[in-house]
Chains A and B, each alone.
Chain A
């Protein structure tokens, strides 16, 4: 399977998914839609006895058990409603929230499909928009909420806040505030796996902005050279803050960047968790087999503003009226929301019905509220604690008291 894939990649452009700027656009888009895309088409396939043979002849989700599918769905719900919960506490103002919060809402199928293909002991390196990665890798909602409140009970004990949440014990090597660094840290983690002779894989997530600097190329080039168990996932949401991606790079499918290095490279519909999973599963298999890295570009959409809550409203999905994007686009993206799409697929598969779905959602919302309560009750860290954790041992001097 894997060799088939790489030869496909060498002879043609990405196979799985929509690739708007590539040749044979119409054909590819149509077969893609039949297989995995829009709810109706996708559902018809999904409901089939074999649970989805994609039109491009890739298995879509045949190896996903019912339990696994439900777990992935629950995580997507958690990711969505935890972030909606954070949005609400920021907007209400009672908790005097501070710091940044980059909402991942709209992009959840990327984390869901990618991390759904990983094992617990695999590694991920995230970026500034990474809450969804964490939750899919098993991040604890209580500790995440407490970190948003900069409390002692938070993942980083109040040192880090949203942009740096980390859980090394779960292979979550952290969110990160510096664009592009996730790829080189991820490739390094993959090299570490090679040194120890492990069977894990390391995955880096980065935005479309993260492909524009040297770290990304260094990571890919060396991962290819050493055949590292490394997968780089580019979450192309079309913007870098307010800058359209198209204004920052000359290629339209960012997967094209991997081809000069003979790295299997794919562009996939990031709103479709099955499509993402299908591509990722093969990348993970290749990596575990010692066949080297894969580059995946997932085209996706962010429903809210870059950071903060501009134009966001409690009870409304998405931010409208932002100066750098059109509301018509935002409406179209929301019509392609990965969450109801996944839900409908599961209903068609007979794994879920509306009643069950509502109960599940209510339960997740309860967990989110409980995590916010946990955060509120978690103690403030002592001020002097800031002098610790600089080195493995001891504290640094509180220099301001010298005078």
Chain B
């Protein structure tokens, strides 16, 4: 048990699964390696060999996401690691194959595969393609796909292990912002159940939800909320599909107010579904959404900073909801 960065925690989980599951294969456009803060090195290529860690996968996300689907049909589980915004390069494979095969084949086809999108998220200087976020909502809209979005290294490791063990395809959104979040990460393998929300803080005044990088910002907003005298209940759904709506709705019912935060784009970002369902369930009577505008992320630091929902904006929004 120690504080570990996100990348290391996830690879540690994969390493454990590769030891017990002799077929588990991972495609990565480099060598899957990570070093812990104590200097412990994970080098999956060295440990498991070239067939299961195809040395130096080419820059061809369509190939290896498609290959994972083909392998899955033969019972070989796999992980497709894609950098930055490149998961969407294989959107059709996910939409027309990976999400549909089990259903179309009358339940014959199993899809034990994980797409691990690494390194995405709002960041200055990258502009447009390399600083985007929110694609999880596109995938959550596809039948047959599970979508998880951890907000810290502990959840990341546990969700990755759960995703690997899941017989269905899981897309794992690993935003760069979560890597440095300080959580104790056990050395051994453990699962964080997919579809189970985490109660981050109990409160009575307002319910605040968000996942991934939005939850990183919500956590940063806690002192500001306290200082403003707001006793917020904070919930991290951790997965968008399945969506743990019961826990969120119960909270919204209790507090009456729901503030949903998302680093995706305003129109149809993932938390929109949370608001809609709570409204239909009669949970809460006041709703607000804090999201990135319907614009690609600009490169300029001040521009993107102003557009990104961050801790001060979360505090301001909560205050407004408390008074208005």
Give me the interface of A with B, judged by CB distance under 8 Å. Answer: 98-100, 150, 156, 158-161, 163-164, 176-180, 209-210, 212-214, 240-244, 247-249, 380-381, 383-387, 389-390, 396-400, 402-403
Contacts and interface: CB of A to CB of B under 8 A. Distances in A.
Nearest to B55: A247
Given A386-B303, A396-B294, 16 more contacts: A99-B125, A99-B299, A150-B301, A159-B298, A177-B127, A210-B59, A212-B59, A213-B63, A213-B89, A243-B30, A247-B56, A380-B302, A386-B293, A399-B266, A402-B289, A402-B290
B238 interface: no
Contacts of A176: 129
B303 A158 contact: yes
A390 B295 contact: yes
B320 interface: yes
A398 B60 CA distance: 36
Nearest to B291: A399
Given A158-B303, A160-B299, A383-B303, A244 B259 contact: no
Given A213-B59, A383-B303, A397-B266, A161 B293 contact: no
Given A243-B30, A385-B303, A249 B58 contact: yes
A302 to B, nearest CB: 16
Query: By CB atoms of chain B within 10 A, which of A99, A100, A159, A399 has the most?
Result: A399
Contact of A178 (B86, B298, B307, B308): B86
Contacts of B316: 403
Contacts of A159: 127-128, 298-300, 303
Contacts of B219: none
A402 B86 CA distance: 31
B85 to A, nearest CB: 8
A161 B291 CA distance: 24
Contact of A387 (B291, B293, B305): B293
Contacts of A383: 302-303, 305-307
A390 B56 contact: no
A248 B58 CA distance: 5
Query: By CB atoms of chain B within 10 A, which of A160, A244, A249 has the most?
Result: A160
A150 B295 contact: no
Contacts of B126: 99-100, 161, 163, 177
A387 B303 CA distance: 9
Nearest to B129: A177
B174 interface: no
A212 B290 CA distance: 39
B30 A242 contact: yes
Contacts of A177: 84, 126-130
Contacts of A99: 124-127, 299
A166 to B, nearest CB: 11
Contacts of A98: 124-125, 301
A297 to B, nearest CB: 16
Nearest to B288: A403
Contacts of B292: 399-400
A159 B320 CA distance: 31
6 contacts: A99-B299, A178-B89, A389-B295, A397-B294, A399-B293, A403-B320
Given A161-B126, A240-B59, A399 B304 contact: no
Contacts of B321: 403
A271 B85 CA distance: 33
B299 A158 contact: yes
A213 B90 CA distance: 11
Contacts of A163: 126-127, 129-130
A386 B265 CA distance: 13
Contact of B299 (A164, A178, A213, A390): A164
A379 to B, nearest CB: 11
B307 A161 contact: no
B36 interface: no
B129 A214 contact: no
Nearest to B128: A164
Nearest to A152: B300
A381 B61 CA distance: 35
B128 A160 contact: yes
Contacts of B298: 158-159, 385-386
A209 B30 CA distance: 13
B13 to A, nearest CB: 24
B129 A178 contact: yes
A397 B293 contact: yes
A176 B86 CA distance: 13
Interface string B76-90: 000000001110010
B62 interface: yes
The 4 closest A-B pairs by CB, nearest first: A99-B125, A403-B317, A383-B306, A161-B299
B313 interface: yes
A252 to B, nearest CB: 15
Nearest to B313: A400
A43 B296 CA distance: 51
Given A386-B298, A390-B295, A400-B293, A248 B307 contact: no
B97 interface: no
A396 B296 CA distance: 11
B309 A400 contact: yes
A153 to B, nearest CB: 12
Contacts of A390: 294-296
A164 B127 contact: yes
Contact of A381 (B57, B59, B266, B300): B300
B29 A243 contact: yes
B293 A180 contact: no
A100 B124 CA distance: 10
B210 to A, nearest CB: 13
B59 A209 contact: yes
Given A159-B300, A177-B129, A242-B30, A400 B307 contact: yes
Contacts of A403: 259, 288-290, 313, 316-317, 320-321
Contacts of B29: 240-241, 243
B59 A150 contact: no
A241 B84 CA distance: 14
A212 B305 CA distance: 35
Contacts of A164: 127-128, 299
Interface in B21-59: 29-30, 55-59
